[in-house]
Structure 1
Amino acid sequence: MANKTALVTGAAAGIGKACAIRLAKDGIAVGVLDLNLDGCQAVVDEIEAAGGKALALKASIADRDQIKAAHAQLKEAFGPVTILVNNAGVSNFIPFEELQEKDWDHMLDINVKGTFIVTQVVVPDMQEQQWGRVINISSSSAQSGSFMQVHYSASKGAVIAMTRSLAQVLGKDGITVNNIPPGSVMNTIMSEENRHLFNADQLVNAIPVKRLGVPEDIAGACAWLASDESGYVTGQTIGVNGGRVVS
């Protein structure tokens, strides 16, 4: 994977951070993008200390101008971006009866429109190279539903549908598009913010492998989907959830 360049969104912490570090370990130059620039720089420092190449980038995925500027900066530094990990997103828990339009709009603006914007900005690099990997991080909540996350589950369900459609659109250009729906992953911003809502023992008992996930579990699948070895895999949902969702 030498001479490849990846952009990982939401990469200052959690799953995005783990994906950025793993891709860099595989020899890929990585754009570490997030609203938290200090967090991005800390990830870049870690990657560079291990001998990898990375660049810290600050942008909102829902702002096309910011994404275009970040993409141009990354491309100038390391070359065309042919691997994209759409990890950035937002999540919260709101009972359906209390859900307001502003909550719905914000969730879809970031999780769905943001994913669309970043992908549309980056894909021309992949088309020029006739090789590319788009890896969307969705959620197992889109598969199973979540009783206090109607808006979140809907947004991630849209990401899964977008994945399938983009796979059909971009396959002719040598680009694969897949998604990973994590399940019960700890050590992320979302899990830490909402830890008080869950009983860890109950979560573990509901998972066949009898443990909670960690960001590195997702990063391993991401690295495979980014590689040449996965070239005949596209439009797929690769569940990394310890068996929580079996389908």
Structure 2
Amino acid sequence: MTVTDLPPRPGPPALVLVAHGSRDPRALSTVRALQDRVRALRPGLPVHLGHIELNAPLLPDTLAALGETEAVLVPLLLGRGYHVKRDIPEMAAAARARTRVAAPLGPHPLLADTLRARLLEAGWRPRPASAVVLAAAGSRDPDARVDTDRMAGLLAARLGVPVLSAYASAAAPTVPEAVTALRAKGRRHIAVASYFTAPGRFATECAAAAPGLVAAPLGAHAAMADLILHRYEQALGTPVTVAA
């Protein structure tokens, strides 16, 4: 057998970005831009997109189009919660594709780098008596709260100022409550870091509740693409899930 007779090597498992979905059109454009960044970093890696709800393509449709190929699902979500623990694994298990589900993006030091960059873009600078509110979506799952608080700790270490978690829904404190708590501790200069993958309803509501400076969501920052590929590589060491 000559070299030209050898069968072609199989390509790498596909990477499927799993976005939540939003009625805000900026959300879809943001995750598409993030998809483009990942493709630029890893030419030759098939990178697809699927949504849990509200936007096309929906994740089951994306997985159906992949047939029986191998894929790694990377949730564009920032902590453990219902979507990460139930929705995505159930959709993956129902597909014919051989799938692995990666960990959510957060918490991670690369997110602290991205949050800091967004704050600096918005004009934030550390000053005496300053603090930051980390505004997140919120969840009833206690693990999600643990993950957000861990992210607040990572961001505090990165910024050198106190960071307090706050939530748009399903958990406390809210952004105004967090601001009040920080002011009670003598913090006069309070900014809001938007701990959201993309613009959407909750990010908009948290920005509206901010007392002053508010940063943009994480978006299609270069560090986000690096983190997605890191989660993809991590997941390749986990067992494959095959539909029953």
Q: Which has the larger radius of gyration?
A: 2
* Shared fold, TM over 0.5: no
TM-score, normalization by structure 2: 0.37
Using CA pairs below 8 Å that are at least 6 residues apart, which structure has the higher relative contact order? 2
TM-score, normalization by structure 1: 0.37
Greater share of helix residues, 1 or 2?
A: 1
